[in-house]
Amino acid sequence: MISGLLRFIFYIFLFYFIYQVIKLFQAAKKIKAKRKKPATSSSQMMVKDEVCQTYLPLDEALSLTYKGQTYYFCSEKCRQKFLTEAKSKS
Ligand SMILES: [Zn+2]
C-alpha cells in the first residue's frame, strides 16, 4: 500500500522532470531560430548589377529605382553609367 503510493509519487516526479527537460529544449530551439533569422533574410540574397553583369549581396549593393523598377549596382560608377545610358535611350 505504502510502496504503491511511493511509486505513484516517483512517477509524478519523473514525468515532471521529463516535462521540464522538454520545455528547456523547446526554449533552446526558439533562441537558435531567433538568432538564425536576421543572418539569412538579407545578407544571403544576391542581386545582379545590370551594368557589369556581376552578382553581389543585397547588403553591399547600391539601389536605384528607375521607372518603377529597382536596380542594383556594385558601385556608384555603375549606377552613374546606368543612368547616363538610360537617359540617352529615352
Ligand atoms: Zn558594377
- What's the CATH number where 79 sits? 2.30.170
Q: What is the pLDDT of residues 42-90, one digit of tens each?
A: 557 999 999 999 999 999 999 999 999 999 999 999 999 999 998 897 6
Instruction: Kindly state the cell numbers that stand for 17.
Output: 522532470
Ligand 1 centre to CA of 50 (Å) is 7
Instruction: Kindly state the cell numbers that stand for 75.
Output: 558601385
Q: Are both 52 and 21 inside the same structural domain? A: no
Ligand 1 centre to CA of 47 (Å) is 11
Ligand 1 centre to CA of 38 (Å) is 26
Could you give the CA distance from residue 73 to residue 50 in angstroms, rounded to a whole number? 7
Q: Are both 35 and 66 inside the same structural domain? A: no
- Nearest Cα to 81, choosing from 57, 52, 41, 55? 52
Residue type, 11: Y
Ligand 1 centre to CA of 3 (Å) is 79
Could you give the CA distance from residue 58 to residue 71 in angstroms, rounded to a whole number? 11
pTM above 0.85, yes or no: no
Domain count, the chain: 2
For 11, the domain range is: 1-40
Q: What is the pLDDT of residues 65-77, one digit of tens each?
A: 999 999 999 999 9
